[in-house]
Structure 1
Amino acid sequence: MGILIALQHRSQYAYDRPIQLGPQILRLRPAPHDRSQIRQYALQVTPAEHHLYWFQDPFANHLARVLLPQPTREFTVDVNITLDLQPFNPFDFLVADYAETYPFAYPQPLRRALLPYFEPEPAGGLLQQWLAGIDRRPASLIGFLFDLNQRLQRDLRYELRLESGVQSCEETLSRACGSCRDSAWLLVQILRHLGLAARFVSGYLVQLDPDSRVNGTGNDDFGLHAWTEVYVPGAGWLGLDPTSGLFATEQHIPLACAADPECAAPISGSLEAAGTHFSFTHQLQRLSS
């Protein structure tokens, strides 16, 4: 049985003077491969005078392009989604015979299709040291991925970081901490250096309190999150969350998946230089369970 929930998410930018905004790109609609069922979706933008166009990027994500013809002191994006979360076993998949044991080789046609997801950045000294500590002896691929994810979760301390952008792998490893997007990008790079196709994911993480009730006062919550997906032949894209050290479940709602983090940012665009105050709110209501 699924759990029906309503998500309300507001992102608000206030400027110290009227400014002209360039095109704004919103990646705030569940991605096509999200397993939950979307019952209702609404996107509202302020100021009211704007033009909005939906399209799909090369990674098949749903993007909204917003054009604002007049200067404004405010830019607000409201997202309202009703989702039917259908629980699933994150290990319920079949791996192609040739990929059951790591290391393995992707067939050339598949490798060509996944080419952007194989290209790592040059590894600095700390990343090289981390990679050198990996046991490369043949092992079950899924067990190998699980252990890798767990090790990274143990090595890094999570921190809430409101600044934009993603830390370099060297900075994350030297500090031994980072936000969810920092650890997700680090895991992408680790997987690529190991010869595995990997991509960066931004989305929502829904956290349901087992003691909550429909329309109750429990501790159900959600927020923006980031994690990693690795392409496993026969199984497809599998989510790995290095913040928790676990495989992604129905509570991970992907919004955008891309080869690089900047192509998966929830909101991006250009604007005139100005003093900016950013704030956000989010609310989850459980409608049924």
Structure 2
Amino acid sequence: MPVFQIHHITKYEYDRPVKESINEIKIYPYPCNEQEVLVHEIVITDSPEVNTYYDYWGNKAGVFNNLAAHQSLVIESKLVVRTTASSQLKINFHSGFDQLKTEVNEDIYLVELSTVKQIEHQQAIQDIAAGLLQHPQQTVAAIAEKCCEYIFKNFKYIKGITTIETTVDEILGHRSGVCQDFAHLMLQILRTLQIPCRYVSGYICPNKNGMRGEGATHAWVEVYVPQFGWAGIDPTNNVWVTNQHVKLSVGRDFNDCTPVKGVFTGISKQHLTAFVSIGYEDGTVFEELNDVSTPRTPNEEKALYDTDYGTQGVQQQQ
């Protein structure tokens, strides 16, 4: 059961004072049996009171505000977490779609997560989905595994060509992207097959074993396997999720899992930097610093930001 020390600093700097900054954070580890929080401390500029709650998806979220004028906002998370899942996930590869239908019909939550969003190029998604169904009796887990492999082999991992607002239609055109893009694509394919699945935001901690996305916020998918439950699968690395992933939040898509978002009053250009350090039990430390600037909106007094940091956002700007 590995233990990871994760230090995550998100820093906003403004070229002129802003005020009335109201923010929501989802940087708390997701409550589940696969991980155990040993220490977690969050430090925020000016030490505002953080009101926490659990959202519809079971994520722990915090809300705080900085009303006074300020030119910087720093959110620092210091986490020590033990992942308790096995390094070899024992997934049920026997349950098929008949069993899935029975379980989905009894759970409105699963119905919602199996409802596909119609997009412009849905026919292309239908074609991909049809290619995965070569044998009518394939199990749900087998289909998820084939979908993961298809994305890994047919879409290139390239930073900088997509943003947090990139759509599935655009990903199909690029045939490339990063972890957030691959997660959204996989969700679209699986939901087209009426398989419940959800977006996951977190960290990947592989200690330099060649997996992509190390050292920054990462994204993957959880698929609902009948008579088993939720199983994580990572299309960026073509692996089932075991004890090298740390989960922060889940939802329908990225918008339900945004680590930091909020609004402020003022006309300012903001500069965002995100530092992530992951320490391993053998003493190895992986560090990464990313930065991104956002343009001033001179005709709007109310400036909004909805910014992910790490692999899903900042690295795309590099």
The answer as to 2:205 corresponding to 1:206 is: yes
- 2:113 counterpart residue number: 117
Change (3 A) 1:106 1:274: farther
| Structure 1 pair 165–208 and aligned structure 2 pair: CA distance change class (3 A) | same
Q: CA deviation at 1:52?
A: 1.1
CA deviations 1:191-230 (Å, max 9, x no partner) are 11101011111111112147xxxxxxxxxx5320001111
Structure showing greater relative contact order (alpha-carbon pairs closer than 8 Å, 6 or more residues apart): 1
Contact 2:96/2:226 (CA < 8 Å) preserved in 1? no
Question: Could you say if the C-alpha distance between residues 21 and 225 of structure 1 is closer, same or farther in structure 2, counting changes exceeding 3 Å?
Answer: farther
Q: C-alpha distance in 2, partners of 1:18/1:162? A: 32
Task: Say whether the 8 Å CA contact 1:102–1:141 is kept in structure 2.
Answer: yes
Pairing 1:274–2:272 present = no
Taking only aligned residues, the RMSD between alpha carbons, in angstroms, comes to 2.3
Given the two structures, how large is their TM-score scaled by the length of structure 1? Answer: 0.86
Give the fraction of aligned pairs with identical amino acids, expressed as a percent. 20
Pick closer, same or farther for the CA change 1:234–1:90 going to 2, 3 Å. Answer: farther
SS in 1 for 2:268: coil
Provide runs of 4+ in structure 1 moved above 6 Å. none
Matching residue of 1:214: none
> Does 131-140 or 229-238 show the bigger shift?
131-140
SS at match of 1:222: coil
Q: Which residue identity lines up with residue 58 of structure 1 in the other structure?
A: Y
- Please say if 1:187 is aligned against 2:180: no
Q: Is the 8 A contact 2:25 2:260 kept in 1?
A: yes
- Structure 1: stretches of 5+ with no match in the other structure: 211-220
Corresponding position of 1:127:
125
Provide the residue aligned with 2:238 in structure 1: 245
Q: Which amino acid aligns with 1:286?
A: Y
- TM-score (structure 2 length as normaliser): 0.79
Amino acid at match of 1:203: G
Identify which range, 59-68 or 77-86, moves more after superposition: 77-86
Aligned length: 274
Alignment match, 2:17: 18
Please list, as runs of the form range in 1=range in 2, the aligned pairs for 1:116-265 lying within 5 A after superposition.
116-123=112-119, 124=121, 125-136=123-134, 137-161=136-160, 165-209=164-208, 222-265=215-258
- Secondary structure of the equivalent of 2:278? strand
Tell whether the 8 Å contact from 1:166 to 1:181 is kept in structure 2 after alignment: no
CA offset digits 1:137-185 (Å, max 9, x no partner)? 2213322221111011111111234975242111111100012111101
For structure 2, the residue ranges without an aligned partner over 5 or more in a row are 284-318
Indicate conservation of the 8 Å contact 1:102/1:144, yes or no.
no
Contact map agreement 2:115 2:194 (CA 8 A) in 1: no
Report SS of the residue matched to 1:91: coil
